[in-house]
Amino acid sequence: MKISSAVRTALIALVALTGSSSASLADSGTVRLTIYKAGWIIGGSGGSGTLNFRGRTYRLSTGGLDYGRVFGGSKTVLHGTVRNINRPSDVAGVYGAAGAGLAIGQGARAIVLTNQKGAVLELSGRQVGLLANADLSGLAITLE
Q: State the pLDDT at residue 83.
A: 94
108-117 b/e (C-beta count within 10 Å ≥ 16 → b):
ebebebebee
Query: What average pLDDT does the structure give for the chain?
Result: 76
Task: Tally the C-alpha atoms within 13 A of residue 143's C-alpha that lie toward its C-beta.
Answer: 13
Higher pLDDT, 93 or 25: 93
pLDDT, tens digit (0-9, with 9 covering 90-100), for 47-56? 999 999 999 9
Measured CA to CA in angstroms, residue 130 lies from 10, 33, 46, 137 at distances of 62, 19, 17, 17
pLDDT, tens digit (0-9, with 9 covering 90-100), for 103-121? 445 566 678 888 899 998 8
Q: Are strands 93-114 and 56-85 parallel, antiparallel or unpaired?
A: unpaired
Q: State the pLDDT at residue 100.
A: 43
